[in-house]
Every structure is written in structure tokens, then in C-alpha cells.
Amino acid sequence: MAARRLLIQGRVQGVGFRYFVAREAQALGVTGWVRNLPDGRVEAVVAAEETALDVLEGRIWQGPPLARVISVESGAAEAPADGEFRIVSSVRRREARLC
């Protein structure tokens, strides 16, 4: 099993992007989470076999109808502990400054 951290940039907030990622991930048997970042990007940490992660990343590039993805940064990550995929709370600007 492999894990990746994805940072998705473009018109990806306010268009149902997190729900799209969650639905696609669950359909592929991918575990992990997705959330909005205060800078307008979406962050996801995903874990599955490499093939499933490649398929998910391709679907993320397509996105839901109202989204427009301009970049996807992908890097290695530690696999999430739980065996499901979920949408987590967005990071607020104040929380982001404290990190």
C-alpha cells in the first residue's frame, strides 16, 4: 500500500470538490481524508495500491463540473490510521497561522 499527500489548486472550493474526491476515493477503495485550506487549495491524504492512487489522481484532474484544476502537487505521505475516507474540517486562517 502507498500513501500520497495531494495539494490541488484552481477553482476547487465552493464547487463540491471535497465531496467529489470523497465519492471517487470510496469507489476506488482509497482511504484517507480531504479538506479545504485557507489559501484556496484543497489538501488530501490518500492511501491505496499505486494503481488506485493513479486513477484517483487522474479523476482529481478532471474534477466535478464547476471545478477547474490548474495543478496537483503529489508527494509521499504517511498512511492515515483509519480504514475509511472522510471529509475533515477545513483549516481556518487563524489555525493556519498557528501551525
Residues serving a catalytic function are: 18, 36
Alpha-carbon distance values, 21 to 2, 33, 97, 99 (Å): 18, 9, 26, 25
Alpha-carbon distance values, 62 to 17, 57, 67 (Å): 11, 9, 8
How confident is the model over 25-51, as pLDDT tens digits? 999 999 999 999 999 999 999 999 999
pLDDT above 90 covers a percentage of the chain that reads 84
Report the run of H or E that residue 18 belongs to, with start and end.
helix 17-28
Q: What's the topology of domain 2-78?
A: Alpha-Beta Plaits (3.30.70)
How many Cβ atoms from other residues are within 10 Å of residue 44's Cβ? 28
